[in-house]
């Protein structure tokens, strides 16, 4: 994964969960490359404050009040982007939740995990991500080079979870991990369907990042955690599709 666009002038990016953390840093970096960034937030004030900060840095940014689990908000986003821009060039499916543990402990409660937590996690991390992508795909098809980036996690890798030598082997969070495995399956399937178009679909592992989900002991800050999303959002025409990356490294499914 080496060739990237140098400028994103006239490109429009829609970033879920873009008012803080990895999403905000992704918006900032895409904005620095010239893109107009639309960041979503469940709280309108928080979203507008984040967008105002980006604008103060010279970035073309606006906020959109949005809950990824609300189907009405998906339609509203489609209507907003249609009326405002008439297309969408970059979709960053960044929003997500981890509801099982605090401070990454305990690491495996598979036998006692509630169905409610499993459903709520999948709703936010998978079902809503699929539904939003389907809703916005007609606008992405209007782009000359559409890019869809699905925020996954190395914790979604079944290959690594089955390997006792892997760093993540002990990190067994069934709801979160399985939801990211499902996201990876969606990436593979959608990329295959769109293989004869100019649209590229990839999964991104941001790294272990110091966010609300990653916790304070994580390796990377949010700026470093945004790098993979930005790279996949700016792939050139000969770049990969249907793959799983951490920065320039392809990860096993």
Instruction: Give the tokens for residue 114.
Output: 């509630």
* CATH architecture of the region 12-250: 3-Layer(aba) Sandwich (3.40)
For 112-152, the pLDDT digits (tens) are 999 999 999 999 999 999 999 999 999 999 999 999 999 99
**How big is the chain, counted in residues?**
253
Strand ranges, E, within 71-199? 90-93, 147-151
| pTM: predicted TM-score of the whole model, two decimal places | 0.93
Q: Which long-range contacts (CB under 8 A, 24 or more apart) does 206-212 make?
A: 206/22, 206/151, 206/153, 206/246, 207/246, 207/247, 209/21, 209/22, 211/21, 211/22, 212/21
Average pLDDT value for the chain: 92
- The residue-averaged pLDDT of 219-248 equals 88
What span, in angstroms and rounded, lies between the C-alpha atoms of 159 and 157? 5
For 151-176, the pLDDT digits (tens) are 999 999 999 999 999 988 999 999 99
Res 5 pLDDT > 80: no
107 pLDDT band, cuts 50/70/90, is: confident
Which positions ≥6 away from 247 have C-beta within 8 Å?
Answer: 207, 227, 228, 231
**Tell me, what's the pLDDT at 210?**
46
Closest by Cα among 139, 141, 145, 142 to 5: 145
Closest by Cα among 249, 242, 233 to 7: 233
Portion of the chain with pLDDT greater than 70, in percent: 90
**Tell me, what's the pLDDT at 59?**
97
**Tell me, what's the pLDDT at 240?**
98
What span, in angstroms and rounded, lies between the C-alpha atoms of 124 and 179? 9
**Tell me, what's the pLDDT at 207?**
78
Cβ pair 54, 61 in contact under 8 A:
yes
Say whether 142 sits in a helix, a strand or coil: coil
């Amino acid at each position: 994964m080496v060739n990237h666009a140098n400028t994103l002038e006239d490109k429009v990016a829609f970033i879920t969960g873009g008012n803080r953390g990895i999403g905000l840093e992704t918006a900032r970096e895409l904005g620095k490359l010239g893109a107009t960034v639309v960041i979503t937030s469940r709280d309108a004030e928080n979203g507008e404050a984040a967008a105002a900060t980006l604008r103060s840095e010279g970035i073309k940014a606006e906020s959109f009040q949005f809950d990824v689990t609300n189907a009405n908000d998906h339609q509203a986003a489609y209507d907003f982007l249609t009326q405002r821009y008439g297309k969408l060039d970059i979709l960053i499916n960044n929003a997500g939740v981890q509801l099982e543990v605090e401070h990454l402990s305990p690491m495996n409660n598979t036998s006692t995990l509630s169905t409610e937590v499993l459903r709520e996690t999948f709703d936010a991390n998978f079902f809503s991500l699929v539904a939003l992508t389907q809703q916005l795909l007609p606008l992405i098809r209007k782009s000359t080079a559409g890019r869809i980036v699905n925020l996954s996690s190395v914790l979604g890798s079944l290959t690594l979870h089955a390997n006792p030598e892997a760093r993540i082997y002990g990190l067994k969070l069934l709801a979160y991990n399985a939801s990211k495995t499902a996201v990876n399956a969606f990436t593979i399937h959608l990329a295959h369907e769109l293989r004869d178009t100019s649209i590229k679909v990839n999964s991104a592992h941001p790294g272990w990042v110091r966010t609300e989900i990653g916790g304070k002991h994580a390796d990377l800050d949010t700026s470093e955690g945004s790098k993979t999303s930005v790279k996949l959002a700016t792939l050139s025409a000969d770049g990969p599709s249907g793959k799983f990356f951490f920065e320039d490294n392809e990860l096993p499914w």
